[in-house]
Structure 1
Amino acid sequence: MSLSPRVIAFLLACMISVVPVIFLTFVDDVTNSMLFVVGLSSFAISFFLVLYAIELLVYREVDKMYKTIRQLKIRDFSLSRKAVIRDDNPFKKLNAEFFVYVTKKQKEIDELKRLEQFRREFLADVSHELKTPIFAAQGFIHTLIDGAVDDERVRDKFLSKAAKSLDGLDALVKDLLALSQLETGEIKMNFERVDIRSITQEIFEQLEEIAEAKHTQLRLRTSLPGPIWVKADDQRIRQVMTNLIENAVKYGNENGRVLVSLEEDKKHIIMSVRDDGPGIPPEHLSRIFERFYRVEKSRSKDRGGTGLGLAIVKHILSAHKAKITVMSKVDKGTTFRFKLDKMD
């Protein structure tokens, strides 16, 4: 026989009702009718009280716990703690605390797994990125040691290539150090009043040679007159704008155009850097700010860079309490946009 709430209530009610009936049999002048009424009323009251206690206070809440466990198994964390915590029923409180605790631990486990996966990928990426310039420099130097140093033309050529590889290694190490310091908060932002229009024009001048090599036009568009003042760290915001504009030139099309727009709202200056290049496929957009992530690894290598630029940009802007967004369409181009606080 299945021990359902009704069966348990029936058995307990029978045992409870027998007690007063047996007691009354020892009392004088008690009739069978009185014993029947007492037994029946005791059974009915006991049955419904026990049924209520078991059904509502125990079985129903245990069933909720079972459903909670099923939710956790299928990773459904949508149950609201407030929906079940406002009750004096200890089973409901237990159910709520159980769900909240397990949900918290599961999320911690997921985060640890994600960080472990990230650590493995990062170590693999760093090893790969360091290996390339080191092996290249080693090859050139060993070739010179093996006798090529006597040929002046070969010697100069190989030393130049070795120096270029070591310069790339130096840039990678500096970017890794900068990124690490940004993440740990070691680099403090020195906020001041800076003219973002002037900074943009200076960066255009610095990148003029790269742009001319690709026949790319650099354009600044704004309806704001005179200097455009924002609250920022001058050095770091130059790093952000240089990285975005240089990427737009490098990854844009030949004979293309890079457009930097400066607009304003009530409290901010809105900056966007747009190119008319091949664009970024949708499946890559969510990952382009990760360290060493490259949309097209073979082509990215040819264009140089450490693969850390956008990660550094994201952290610098986060320190400015700003969020960078990216919009891109294949064969239409890519636009990066962020806001900085406006200053008078």
Structure 2
Amino acid sequence: MFKRLLAASILTIITTGASVAASDTFKQYKTLSEAQGRKDRVALLKTASELLQSNTLSPEQRTYVLHRSALHLVRENQFEHAQQRLAQLELHLKDFPDVNLQGKYHWVSGDLALLLGNTQSAEFHFSEAVALFKQTNDMRMLSHAHRLLANVLSEKGDYFQAVSHVFQAKDTALKTENVHLFYAALSTEARIYRDFKQFDKALDVLNQKLQFQEQQPKVNLAHLSSTYFSLADIYQSLSDHDAALSALQKSYELDSQLNDKNYMGVSQLHIAQQYLQLSNVPAATEAVDRALALFKEVNNRHNIGQAEATQGQIKLASNQFEEAVELLQTALEKINTSNNPQLYSRYQSLLGQALSHIRPHAAINLLKPLLESTDEQFRIRILRSLSRAHKQLGELELALSYQEQAFNYKEQLTEKDITTRLEAKKFNSELGLKNIEVNALQAGLEEQQQDTKTRTVILASAIIVLTNFLLLFYLYHLKRRRVMEKEAELLNQSLNLKQQLLADVSHELRTPLTVLKLNIEALEYNLTEDPKSTYQVLQRRLDMLNTLIADIYELAQADTNNLRLEFETLQASALFDELIIAIGPIIESPDLEISYLNQLPESLQVECDMSRLNQVFNNLARNSIHYTDRPGKIKISVFQQHQTVVCTFEDSAPGVSSHALSKLFDRLYRCDKSRSRDLGGSGLGLSICEKVIELHHGAIEAKHSELGGVLIRFTLPIKNT
């Protein structure tokens, strides 16, 4: 019988050869996709296409390939293909939901939306990603999602929410001890400080990050480039264009080493802007031409539009108004007004400025509607352009009116800028007494008013500090109280478990001892007709007691960490074949159909105690034999899943209820107590199996079997070679 079983197993392995080959291709693809350092994305995308065209992938494998290939398409700047692949992934996840992969779908979609300049879509996708990664407790991806959402919110001007998300990104990165994630969050924090007019603090954060990155033994070029780019952004806000230009040149050099053409083009585009601020038109022209060529290589329509608009701005600075109008009109056709309203308004204001020199009527028709709808930072340019257009038409009164409006609005912006800086200082309690320096900006105020405002700021800072102290004090005591309550709850739970165990053990011992006592009395008073059979009953009961005591002893050793295992490294496939051979005499039965399938590759190794695993196999095999109605089926399978070896014991009817299924590993628990005692079970076999598997750093669980009975599934980690 057992020889027939082995022959059938070999035949099954041969017939699954094709599936194993496809599985090997997927494993290789996954390994290369997750490898550290630079990847051959072109080769990976080719392999992904081949895998997706085949019918050998499981739903989980197809989900993985769709997600990874979409990410690689974004990194390779194949944006249209990336959108198509993401649409495929979205449809696939509806049929085969996976919360973590749904979060990654939204994360990649948000990243793509950012590259395409669609901030509204990016905010939606990153918000969804945050919620989903919280469900799966994927801390690394959660930090990524918080940081990128903070970026988007900062662009919208929602600074308080942006700060909240960037702090959560930092906290999550620290929990995972991921330094690169933590410093990526610092870059976002610096950007938010810049947007909130706290330039000194933004520079401090970025310089600390830069110093740390340059001291690392292995410098991440992409992260270092991002830091220099962020520094340039701050220097530009401070109007230090030479320093900004130097930082952008370093960022471009790093992007060139990575051959990231999209980011190379973005750096060159910003370099052109700095040269334009320094009135170096030839250098600006050369930089924007390089940027345009790079954007055309990666076919990024949005960035091509920005490059053409910058060319138009250069022509405008050179008083070549016709060329400026033509370039700006071409650029506006490539900018999506619904996704990028601020950028679109900026280029419209530049177009109106160019038209005001040569076509005043067209300039007025374009710019007047923009006065109410455009962003405030472009309003001064619009007012001045309208003034120039009316002056060109000889309408001097209107020209003077718009000029006065531009002057007054500039003063309002100056006052608003000062107010924003003051508010930023107040909201940041760490700066405290530095608010005194802000009062120096209030030139012209009387000495008494300045002193009063200083005292107000100091008092407000003191109140904030005191409030924070009281809040921390309250939270400390609240946390301490919760810890004490939790400890008391665990102690009570331990006492209850101990009392329950003692009660169960005493009950289990009382029953066989009572039987022994009755049979001994029967022998003593000659009340039995067959003494030999009575002695056999006594022998069986003594064996049951020995089994129960031995099992209790093993569990006690495990509970006190005294159950020692002798680990050795073994070839996984051969190990399980030997374990099956060892339980051959137990499972061989004429009225039971036994099947065994070993799908493990020959290269896998596991570190284990073979004698203890043999004990697990014996317990599981006896359970399946004892609790399966005849005729019946028992199916044993072994296969690889990710970085683990999975073994399943599956039997046919009768099954157990869902309530009983969750208690099978509880000590002394039996679904059918009388039947279990008749079969000699102690009720501790599955508990011992659970302890042995845990000591092997694996996991064991019980489920309903498709055959109608119970499925026991345990895993062992693969040893890395």
Structure 2 unaligned blocks of 5 or more: 1-451
Does 1:274 find its partner at 2:650?
Answer: yes
Deviation at 1:337, TM superposition (A): 1.2
Partner of 1:237: 613
Deviation at 1:187, TM superposition (A): 2.0
Does 1:111 find its partner at 2:520?
Answer: no
What is the alpha-carbon distance in structure 1 between the residues aligned to residue 563 and residue 642 of structure 2?
Answer: 30
Amino acid at match of 1:164: R
Among candidates 205, 223, 247, match of residue 585 of structure 2: 205
What is the alpha-carbon distance in structure 2 between the residues aligned to residue 99 and residue 329 of structure 1?
Answer: 47
**Residue deviations 1:69-109 (CA, integer Å, cap 9, x gap):** xxxxxxxxxxxxxxxxxxxx221111111121111111111
Amino acid at match of 1:110: E
Q: 1:293 to 1:330 in 2, by over 3 A?
A: farther
Partner of 1:4: none
Does 1:222 find its partner at 2:584?
Answer: no
Q: Share of identical aligned residues, percent?
A: 27
Amino acid at match of 2:483: K
Amino acid at match of 1:191: F
Q: Secondary structure at the match of 1:260?
A: strand
What is the alpha-carbon distance in structure 2 between the residues aligned to residue 233 and residue 297 of structure 1?
Answer: 32
What is the alpha-carbon distance in structure 2 between the residues aligned to residue 232 and residue 165 of structure 1?
Answer: 34
Deviation at 1:197, TM superposition (A): 1.2
Contact 1:137/1:163, CA 8 A, preserved across alignment: no
Contact 1:196/1:229, CA 8 A, preserved across alignment: no
**Bigger helix fraction:** 2
Structure 1 unaligned blocks of 5 or more: 1-41, 62-88
What is the alpha-carbon distance in structure 2 between the residues aligned to residue 257 and residue 307 of structure 1?
Answer: 23
Contact 2:662/2:702, CA 8 A, preserved across alignment: no
Number of equivalences: 263
Partner of 1:303: 679
Deviation at 1:236, TM superposition (A): 0.4
Q: 1:257 to 1:330 in 2, by over 3 A?
A: closer
Among candidates 155, 160, 166, match of residue 542 of structure 2: 166
Q: How does 1:119-268 map to 2 (within 5 A)?
A: 119-148=498-527, 154-194=530-570, 195-208=575-588, 211-212=589-590, 215-224=591-600, 230-265=606-641, 267-268=643-644
What is the alpha-carbon distance in structure 1 between the residues aligned to residue 586 and residue 622 of structure 2?
Answer: 10
Q: Secondary structure at the match of 1:324?
A: strand
Among candidates 670, 678, 699, match of residue 294 of structure 1: 670
Amino acid at match of 1:251: Y
Contact 2:670/2:676, CA 8 A, preserved across alignment: yes
Amino acid at match of 2:651: D
Q: 1:102 to 1:331 in 2, by over 3 A?
A: farther
What is the alpha-carbon distance in structure 2 between the residues aligned to residue 226 and residue 216 of structure 1?
Answer: 30
Q: Secondary structure at the match of 1:272?
A: strand
Contact 1:198/1:227, CA 8 A, preserved across alignment: no
Q: How does 1:67-78 map to 2 (within 5 A)?
A: none
Moved over 6 A (4+): 225-228
Deviation at 1:328, TM superposition (A): 1.2
Amino acid at match of 1:311: S
What is the alpha-carbon distance in structure 1 between the residues aligned to residue 603 and residue 522 of structure 2?
Answer: 54
What is the alpha-carbon distance in structure 1 between the residues aligned to residue 604 and residue 685 of structure 2?
Answer: 25
Deviation at 1:228, TM superposition (A): 7.7
Amino acid at match of 1:128: H
Q: Secondary structure at the match of 2:699?
A: coil
Amino acid at match of 1:97: Y
Does 1:98 find its partner at 2:477?
Answer: yes
Deviation at 1:249, TM superposition (A): 1.6
Q: 1:331 to 1:268 in 2, by over 3 A?
A: closer
Deviation at 1:244, TM superposition (A): 1.0
Deviation at 1:301, TM superposition (A): 2.9
**Residue deviations 1:263-312 (CA, integer Å, cap 9, x gap):** 12454321111111222211223322111012233333333300000110
CA-atom RMSD, angstroms?
3.0
What is the alpha-carbon distance in structure 2 between the residues aligned to residue 162 and residue 325 of structure 1?
Answer: 36
Q: How does 1:2-13 map to 2 (within 5 A)?
A: none
Deviation at 1:224, TM superposition (A): 4.3
What is the alpha-carbon distance in structure 1 between the residues aligned to residue 498 and residue 600 of structure 2?
Answer: 45
Deviation at 1:116, TM superposition (A): 1.3
Amino acid at match of 2:633: R
Which of structures 1 and 2 has the larger relative contact order (alpha carbons within 8 angstroms, sep 6+)? 1
Q: 1:221 to 1:329 in 2, by over 3 A?
A: closer
**Residue deviations 1:176-210 (CA, integer Å, cap 9, x gap):** 001111221212111124412111122022343xx
Q: Secondary structure at the match of 1:96?
A: helix
**Bigger strand fraction:** 1
Amino acid at match of 2:484: K
Does 1:332 find its partner at 2:704?
Answer: no
Q: 1:286 to 1:266 in 2, by over 3 A?
A: closer
Does 1:322 find its partner at 2:706?
Answer: no
Q: 1:165 to 1:262 in 2, by over 3 A?
A: same
